[in-house]
Structure 1
Amino acid sequence: MQKSWLFLLPLLAACNSTPSAVNEGTVSRAADRQGPVTDTAQALPAPDTAAARAVSAVSDTLRQVRERHNFSNPKGPADLFRLVYRGSSILEGTGEFTITDPSGQVIFREMLTEPDLEAALVYEMKNPTATRAERETFVLRRIDRFFLPAQFHTPAVAAKAAFPGGIENLDRAAWADLQKRPDAIGFEYLKGKEDRRVIAWSALKKQTVRVR
């Protein structure tokens, strides 16, 4: 009997090793299957974007006016004054007013809302209310006439003008320096109903300042 058990031991060992061998084979075959799947994914063509809808950054531009005029350098190349009005409609838009010097640097930027451009309409109204068409016409006219030649003048600051208080970024040194420059150019524009502003280039501060 003892000899019979000794004879069966090798057979039992072989049987116990079978599941492990199967598992190893399964893992190996799974790895073999994963290889072709990965290669197929890499071989897929790139998405076709040729028919994608083009998106324009200025697709909502409703009106744009440009004017070249001396400003930062009275005797040098002209600066570019530009007002770009964007929005879903004339009465739901915003204007970006910029001045760019000859080197391409923006030396002034201000945003103008639709109410900023429409407010002065009250002085032209003949009826208590204005129609939508009348409002739109007025806003467009304000944009088109934003850079009239008469709005540029010298000197930017009169020699005997009193220093205005409460204007941001304007100090007495810059004001006094502008008073000594009869060729300094001021640009005047209306914001809102009665907020008439004047800006000028301060050679002392190397930036555009509001002087009124």
Structure 2
Amino acid sequence: MKVFWIVLLPLLAACNSTPSAVNEGTVSRAADRQGPGTAQALPAPDTARAKAVSALHDTLRQVRERHNFSHSAGPPDLFRLVFRGPSILEGTGELTITDPTGQVIFREILTEPDLEASLVYEMKAPSATRSDRETFVLRRIDRFFLPSQFHTPAVMTTMPFRSGIENMNRTIWSDLQKRPDAIGFEYLKGKEDRRVIAWSPLKKQTVRVR
């Protein structure tokens, strides 16, 4: 009887292990047929519907004007004001002057408050509506390069030198006074900051004269 059990126990053990061995073999062969990593592969992402431009960089208004500035004769310079942002009351303007060769000779950033500040002089009520504010800012942009804002000479001979202006000294000032054909461009920044810029042939750059 002992001999019988000694022979039978190994056979029972083999039978009990057969199902798991078969199952493991089946999974392995199925994976081999599909190829490595196939079960976890994902489709390529669909980027066709992605937004190409952020609203923060949308151009809301742009004005351009050609006028002589760096030279009194010949091809004119390009004056441009580009206003970008998520809305009129949250935008920023970039003022540039580009000479006939394509070189930017002046650049300044104008914030929305810079363009809206002078609205207080036109208000007939204690406060302005959002629509009134937007209309005023757009009008300021549209009228930024009026012909009356360009004048010659840029610096009159009777005009006294003003110290404290960045990039300006008496030598540049005196040189511009001797140039009756030098052209000045005048614009308003903020509520009362009225500025005049001109091209300095001596310094080879745009300078502020007032």
Using the size of structure 2 for normalisation, the TM-score is 0.76
- Alpha-carbon distance in 2 for matches of 1:73, 1:90: 34
The answer to whether the aligner puts 1:60 opposite 2:66 as a matched pair is: no
- Alpha-carbon distance in 1 for matches of 2:118, 2:192: 7
| Aligned match of 1:104 | 102
| Aligned match of 2:11 | none
- Alpha-carbon distance in 2 for matches of 1:57, 1:85: 15
- Structure 1: where are the runs of 5+ without partners? 1-32
Which whole-Å deviations, capped at 9, do the CAs of 1:70-125 have from their partners, x for residues lacking one?
A: 00011121000000001111000110000001111100000001110000000000
| Aligned match of 1:26 | none
- Alpha-carbon distance in 1 for matches of 2:50, 2:68: 41
- Alpha-carbon distance in 1 for matches of 2:158, 2:147: 25
Q: Which amino acid aligns with 1:135?
A: R
Equivalences for 1:9-48 in 2 at 5 Å?
Answer: none
- Alpha-carbon distance in 1 for matches of 2:73, 2:143: 25
Which whole-Å deviations, capped at 9, do the CAs of 1:159-212 have from their partners, x for residues lacking one?
A: 121001110001111111100000000000000000000000000000000000
| Aligned match of 1:124 | 122
- 1:142 to partner: Cα distance: 0.2
Which of 68, 74, 77 is residue 76 of structure 1 equivalent to?
A: 74
Tell me the SS of whatever aligns to 2:171. helix
Aligned Cα RMSD in Å? 2.2
- Alpha-carbon distance in 2 for matches of 1:79, 1:69: 5
| Aligned match of 2:89 | 91
| Aligned match of 1:169 | 167
Q: Which amino acid aligns with 1:80?
A: L
Q: How many residues align?
A: 173
Which of 34, 37, 51 is residue 48 of structure 2 equivalent to?
A: 51
- Check 1:67–1:57 CA distance in 2 against 1; reply closer, same or farther (3 A cut): farther
Using the size of structure 1 for normalisation, the TM-score is 0.76
The answer to whether the aligner puts 1:154 opposite 2:152 as a matched pair is: yes
- Check 1:51–1:203 CA distance in 2 against 1; reply closer, same or farther (3 A cut): same
Equivalences for 1:185-196 in 2 at 5 Å?
Answer: 185-196=183-194
- 1:56 to partner: Cα distance: 3.8
Tell me the SS of whatever aligns to 2:206. strand
| Aligned match of 1:24 | none
| Aligned match of 1:140 | 138
Tell me the SS of whatever aligns to 1:170. coil
| Aligned match of 1:197 | 195
Sequence identity, in percent?
74
- 1:157 to partner: Cα distance: 0.2
Tell me the SS of whatever aligns to 1:102. coil
- 1:53 to partner: Cα distance: 3.0
Q: Which runs of 4+ in 1 moved over 4 A?
A: 47-50
